[in-house]
Amino acid sequence: MLIPLVVLIIVVLGIVAVLVALKRKKEGKPQKTDYRAFFAVGICFLASGTALMSTNPASMGLTGLGLVYMVIGLANRDKWPKKKKKAKKK
C-alpha cells in the first residue's frame, strides 16, 4: 500500500517540475547556476554520508554524491559570485 503512494507522489512531483521548467523556458528568463551552492551542498552530503556509513553501508551513495557536487563546484570556481566589500564603520 505504501509503495504505490510513494510512486504517485514521485510522478506528481515530476510533472510539476516539468511544468515549472516549461513555464520558465517560455518566459525566457534563464537562471544562473550558483556553483558555490553546489560546493556547499557537496560538503553537507559528504559529511552526512560519512557519518551514516557507520550505520548503513548504503550511505556510500550519499558520500559519492557529495564528492561529485564538490567537484562540480570547484571546477566552476571562477563562476562563483564575487564577494561584496563591506563598508567600513567610522
- Judgement on whether residues 42 and 76 belong to the same structural domain of the protein: yes
Interval 24-64: pLDDT, tens = 888 877 778 889 999 999 999 999 999 998 888 888 889 99
Instruction: Give domain status of residue 88, yes or no.
Output: no
- Judgement on whether residues 51 and 67 belong to the same structural domain of the protein: yes
- Judgement on whether residues 39 and 73 belong to the same structural domain of the protein: yes
- Judgement on whether residues 40 and 15 belong to the same structural domain of the protein: no
From residue 20, alpha-carbon distances to 13, 24, 74, 79 in Å are: 11, 6, 28, 25
Instruction: Give domain status of residue 12, yes or no.
Output: yes
- Judgement on whether residues 26 and 38 belong to the same structural domain of the protein: no
- Judgement on whether residues 36 and 26 belong to the same structural domain of the protein: no
Helical H runs in 1-90?
2-27, 35-52, 60-75
Q: Which band of pLDDT confidence, cut at 50, 70 and 90, is reported for residue 82?
A: confident
Q: For residue 41, give its domain range.
A: 32-81
pTM beyond 0.95: the answer is no
From residue 54, alpha-carbon distances to 11, 44, 50, 60 in Å are: 32, 17, 7, 10
The total of structural domains in the chain comes to 2
